[in-house]
Amino acid sequence: MQTAPQGQGSMGCGEAESSSSSSSSRRAADAPHSCPRAAAASKWGIFKRRFSLGGSLLLLLLLAAATPSVCDFYQFDETEIPVAADMSLPLPRPFDSTACALQHLAQQQQLLLALQQLQPAASRSLLQDPALAALHEATRSGLVAEEVSRHIEFGRQAKITVELQLHNKGAAAAASVFILLPFSEATQLGWMKASAANGKQLKMHSVSPFLPSISSLSWEDWGQRQLLLQKEELLLAAAAAGRSSNFKSPCWPSVFQVQLERPLQQTESVKLTVSYILGRPYRPLPRAVELEAIQSVIFATSLNWPSPYKTLKSSLSFQLPPQTSLGEAGERRMQQKSFQKLSEGLWKWASAAAVDPLAAVGPFAMVFPLPQHLGFLFAAERLLLLPLSGAAVSEDFYKFHNDAALQQGPFNPISVALLQGLAPGTPRLALQNKEVPRAPPVPSHVLFDLHATLPPDVFNLDVADSAGNLTTAFAAREGPEGAPLSTRLEVWPRFPVLGGWNFDLRVIYSQPVSSLLLQQEAGSSSSSVSLKIPLEPIFSETYAEQLSLTVALPTGATNIRCSSPVEFDSVEEKRIKWWFDIVTSRPALTLKWHSFSASPSPHEERSLTVTFDYPYPVDLEHFKKLLLLLLLLAVLVIATLLSRWKLRFTTPEEEAAAAALQSAFEKVRKELGRVAEAAIKDTGSYLNCAAAAAAESGQSSSKQMPQEQEMQQWSKCMQQHENDVAALLQTAPEANSSIVAFQEALEDYRNTVQAFAAGQLKNVKDKKTEKAEQDVKAAADQLRAAACCMKLCSTKLHKA
């Protein structure tokens, strides 16, 4: 991008200047200036209508060369009021938390002054709070801060470095000193350390029971104003002086105790350096901008660094992000506050006036452009399964949120492509192809990709989101071949994460447990195992809130201990089940804390050391697999035995009765079969006679007598068969339904035969006769089927 003229920001815009009249203030507040890249966007609209896709490269060059417009005023929008529907979403860190923190600092200062007027016996009952007791001790120790120098380096996170020179004017030596952080900074504290002048890190712990979370700020204290920057500063000044009583939240400061290398004797001085990182220090202003616009952010603090000791000399310096500036109006405001511009983006303020303990001098707010995404993790959960040997499995679940300015206006895919340096219509995966022409990406507050650093020996890496495999991921080893230093993971969300958008991600990977093994000592009855688990987030450039780590240890682990430089909100020991835990379970530790940032250097990385005793000589995880195989084998054996055995649930008497019924059933079935075959045989003889009579139809009627005799004989036989079937009803009543069905079939067969025989006597051969012959055959088949397919009604016979 081109360099802006002297006094103007290359990516920034000026701030609203103070005005003597309220009308000019309203005009400045209502001025619709949000510093958009409107010129570049409008050029795109004109050229898009005139050129085809072949001119995309030319348009990319025009966009890269376009300089965003610089405006003279900031537009301050109204802070969003959270409602019940928004409580589950991460809201931007409120500007009012700084005012609330300054007000409580003033109240704490007045309370300490009141306690100094009381006798020690009278004030002892009032000093039940550890933080208040530590501040009271610090104000009475006689230590004086001869010089306090604070430097703020602005980026996606704010890194603050404070150099203190303390002098002991008290009557006794001081083995430790106290420092404090206002509520607005303690709620977003991602990393902190204290070191001596020689660079040696000093022990430090929080005196307060727990570090506050931003969720402790009541909803009533979220701002509902739409003010100019000067009026916001008046609010901060009133809160720092204790004149504001609109806050209901307990925005008390957090106190830390720093242990010195050696006690500080009388008249001696010591130099300390306190460094810490603020994870979410900004609030976008305005809250919503166009996609092509450069977002601006507001940051509030005081000129001095509040200290529990009297400060004789204070200084403040800050470094803006690269290629940004305050603009002409913003620089004039800083100069009016006695700031000096040392270099491009570097400003400094210094004062030799003494400052009382816990006092905040000159609170102010500054607005500057920040063309970076403000993505952070508002929830991070990790499950780590640790065996004694083999591979450790880690399942991480992350919920990202972009704290940047919201999208104003419709979504424009052309602008999204141009911000990445791609021609419209080019797929995002083309960024991995070096042959695809592209322009340099334009700095923006849109989150396009994430970068993570994993251990060098990870394997079975799997990355996915809640929607499936819509997320694109690339992984590669970094370092010398054969001895990599780390594994780099690059994640591209399916859609660019705009301001106010969320994005979830699940990362699963394995690594040898030997890389986490710190120590293993074998004893007489049990062995002691120590594991070192890194706590650093894999996304090193991202601040995290609401973290949870569950460490699942091997089955049989006892006497579990853990230690870490991180002060956890809670540590819970429980039992969980995992694969192969059929009749067993695993002991687990669940640790939770609410703010975390990556350490600035590798030697300052924080970790968790877990030590436990293991009384077994071998790993029980192998026996779990063997137990599973034995269970599967037992199931197969039981299934085989059950398939071969016939289980009987009846008494011997019932079995005998069932056997008798079954024997009677077989006799009935055989008798019905005999009757059916006999009836069919007799019918065949009778039909043969009827056919012979039809052939001699031309002879005298005296020859009809033998035919009538055959018919009478056949009728008698059929009647006898029916009588035999009726007799079976008396001998086998359990089969009455089947016998009745056979009777009906026999009756139907008899009628069918009679109809066919009558047709033959008439000596008429037509289609009706052929059909009647087929009906006789079908009735015979049905009769045989009725004799074979029998159903008994007795339930006892069914059991048999």
How many whole angstroms from its chain centre is CA 396? 8
β-bridge mates for residue 226, sequence order: none
Does pLDDT of 370 surpass 60? yes
pLDDT tens digits for range 760-792: 666 556 667 778 778 888 888 887 887 776 544
Does pLDDT of 179 surpass 90? yes
CB-CB contact of 272 with 258 (8 Å): yes
Does pLDDT of 315 surpass 60? yes
Question: Helices (DSSP H) in 119-246: which residue ranges?
Answer: 120-124, 130-139, 183-186, 229-240
Q: What is the mean pLDDT of residues 403-418?
A: 87
Side-chain half-sphere exposure of 44, counting CA atoms within 13 A: 24
DSSP strands (E only) in 442-599: 450-454, 459-464, 472-478, 486-492, 502-512, 517-522, 527-534, 544-552, 558-563, 570-576, 586-596
User: Closest by alpha carbon to 196, among 171, 176, 219, 218?
Assistant: 176
Does pLDDT of 11 surpass 70? no
How many whole angstroms from its chain centre is CA 580? 25
CB-CB contact of 668 with 791 (8 Å): no
For residue 522, the model assigns a pLDDT of 66
Does pLDDT of 28 surpass 60? no
pLDDT tens digits for range 665-713: 788 888 888 888 888 888 888 777 777 766 665 554 444 555 677 777 8
pLDDT tens digits for range 252-303: 999 999 999 999 998 899 999 999 999 999 988 878 888 888 898 989 999 9
Does pLDDT of 525 surpass 70? no
CB-CB contact of 257 with 204 (8 Å): yes
Does pLDDT of 474 surpass 50? yes
CB-CB contact of 535 with 430 (8 Å): no
User: Closest by alpha carbon to 308, among 118, 123, 181?
Assistant: 181
Instruction: pLDDT band for 36, please (50, 70, 90 cuts).
Output: very low
Distances (CA, A) of 616 to 527, 546, 556: 8, 37, 8
Residue with tokens 């290359």: 10
Separation of alpha carbons 598 and 421, rounded Å: 29
CATH 1.20.120 intervals, the chain? 652-696+703-799
Buried/exposed code over 646-684 (b: 16+ C-beta within 10 A; e: otherwise): eeeeeeeeeeebbeebeebbeebbebbeebbeebbebbe
Q: What is the mean pLDDT of residues 225-239?
A: 74
Does pLDDT of 645 surpass 50? yes
Separation of alpha carbons 384 and 297, rounded Å: 38
Neighbouring CB atoms inside 10 A of 521's CB total 10
CATH 3.30.450.20 for domain 84-216+227-372: no
Instruction: pLDDT band for 71, please (50, 70, 90 cuts).
Output: very low
Residue 552 has φ and ψ, to the nearest 5°, of: -95, 115
pLDDT tens digits for range 615-633: 887 777 777 777 788 888 9
Q: What is the mean pLDDT of residues 367-374?
A: 91
DSSP string, 678-715: HHHHHHHHHHHHHHHHHHTTTS-GGGHHHHHHHHHHHH
Q: What is the domain class of 652-696+703-799 according to CATH?
A: mainly alpha
Length of the chain: 800
- Pairwise pLDDT comparison (41 vs 138), residue with the higher score: 138
β-bridge mates for residue 167, sequence order: 144, 269
Separation of alpha carbons 259 and 743, rounded Å: 110
Cis-peptide, bond into residue 286, ω within 30° of zero: yes
Separation of alpha carbons 389 and 521, rounded Å: 15
For residue 796, the model assigns a pLDDT of 40
Residue with tokens 């230690």: 563
Instruction: pLDDT band for 105, please (50, 70, 90 cuts).
Output: very high
Which residues does 322 contact at the CB level (< 8 Å), separation at least 6? 345
For residue 50, the model assigns a pLDDT of 34
Does pLDDT of 73 surpass 80? no
CB-CB contact of 662 with 711 (8 Å): no
Q: What is the mean pLDDT of residues 511-520?
A: 87
Report percent pLDDT > 70 for the chain.
79
Q: What is the mean pLDDT of the chain?
A: 78
pLDDT tens digits for range 551-563: 999 888 889 999 9
CB-CB contact of 550 with 189 (8 Å): no
CB-CB contact of 369 with 14 (8 Å): no
How many whole angstroms from its chain centre is CA 77? 32
Separation of alpha carbons 784 and 790, rounded Å: 11
> What CATH topology corresponds to 376-404+445-627?
Immunoglobulin-like (2.60.40)
Separation of alpha carbons 184 and 232, rounded Å: 16
Report percent pLDDT > 90 for the chain.
30
Instruction: pLDDT band for 220, please (50, 70, 90 cuts).
Output: low
CATH 2.60.40.1730 intervals, the chain? 84-216+227-372
Q: What is the mean pLDDT of residues 103-109?
A: 90
Does pLDDT of 494 surpass 50? yes
**For the CA atoms of 713, 719, 723, 724, what is the dihedral angle to 10 degrees?**
60
Q: Widest CA span of the chain, in angstroms?
A: 162
DSSP state of 118: S
For residue 576, the model assigns a pLDDT of 84
Does pLDDT of 455 surpass 80? yes
DSSP state of 355: B
Lowest mean pLDDT among 238-242, 393-397, 549-553, 718-722: 718-722
Residue 259 has φ and ψ, to the nearest 5°, of: -85, 125
Lowest mean pLDDT among 25-39, 222-236, 401-415, 472-486: 25-39
pLDDT tens digits for range 568-609: 888 999 988 877 777 778 899 999 998 889 888 888 889 999
Q: What is the mean pLDDT of residues 456-472?
A: 83
Q: What is the mean pLDDT of residues 134-158?
A: 93
Q: What is the mean pLDDT of residues 23-49?
A: 34
